[in-house]
Chains A and B, each alone.
Chain A
Amino acid sequence: MVLFANGEAGAARVLTARLLPRALRHATRVLGNASEAEDVAQEAMLRLWRAASDWQADGPARPATWLYKVTANLAVDRLRLRKRSVPLEAAPEPEDETPGPAAAMDDATRRAALDAALQTLPERQRQAVVLRHLEGLSNPDIAAVLDISVEAVESLTSRGRRALAAVLVGQKEALGYDE
């Protein structure tokens, strides 16, 4: 971050490669809309660039955690602007999948099912589940991102995971999940 703030051109590329995928994954799973997720991820990165010059040596120890927090807040803003009944534009219809490797089709179908199930969760549960089980953040880190207690995170992730399982387990066989 210091190198970026000092004008190093290569620093932006390294930071983008490292951080943009996280912001995009997080936004995609929370919003269930690829286009909106890209907008949110781009905006989050822009705020990172602008904040970098103020950080220098006094910035947050982990910019990734800061970025997740910004992404979470931007996603919440987006969610408040639209109805919950908006169909998932990022979820392809399984029967419309073009011929391709079987594994890729299964992955796409599972992602679509997961996205649909995530959208049934309350926003806080969804954020917590995405950050815990998809982004791999620790509970203390999630608490910092969502500005809640660690106990609240544990409650949200466990309830969210149970709710997801209730929605998805019944669809396992139909989705080709045969582990």
Chain B
Amino acid sequence: MTSEKDTDGLAAFFDAANRDAGPGDDLMARVLADAAAVQAEAARAPMPEPARPGLLQTLGGWITVSGLAAACAAGVAIGVSLPSAVSAGFDGSLGAILTGQEAVGFAGFDAVSFVDGGVIE
């Protein structure tokens, strides 16, 4: 298979070597069997498990949880502020405290449960 000028007479030897019989049927079969075994092993490899519904889904998704987080933060803020501000602002203005969030889901919640960090089920 040399493309160089054959000045040393080796071309005939190289050509004879390249006319050598290729792999026999037995070797071919062994190699193909190895290939099939590797493919079968790859097919049996466990698939990544789908994500289990976690606490996030249990709590109703990001919107609800983010609102919950904001409400908790608001509850902490309310708790550290003057008590008068809490009672005055609770009924209608709690929603205003939850800026950017949908307050409807929290309208029925007892503020105490937020402040206490009660579990929402």
Q: List the interface of chain A (C-beta within 8 A of B).
A: 4-5, 7, 9, 12-13, 15-16, 20-21, 24-25, 28-29, 38, 41-42, 45-46, 49-50, 52-53, 106-108, 110-111, 113-114, 117, 132-136, 161-162, 164-165, 168-169, 172, 177, 179
Contact = CB atoms under 8 A, between A and B. Distances in A.
A136 B35 contact: no
B58 interface: no
Nearest to A168: B13
Interface of B: 1-4, 8-10, 12-14, 16-20, 22-23, 27-28, 30-32, 34-36, 38-39, 42-43
Given A46-B34, A113-B13, A41 B42 contact: no
16 contacts: A4-B39, A7-B42, A20-B22, A20-B31, A21-B23, A38-B27, A41-B31, A49-B38, A107-B20, A113-B13, A133-B1, A162-B8, A165-B8, A172-B9, A177-B9, A177-B13
A171 B4 CA distance: 21
Contact of B16 (A15, A45, A50, A107): A107
Contacts of A164: 8, 10, 13
A108 to B, nearest CB: 8
Contacts of A107: 16, 19-20
B31 A16 contact: yes
A10 to B, nearest CB: 11
Nearest to A179: B12
A172 to B, nearest CB: 6
A165 B13 CA distance: 10
Interface centre among A7, A9, A28, A45 (most CB of B within 10 A): A45
B20 to A, nearest CB: 6
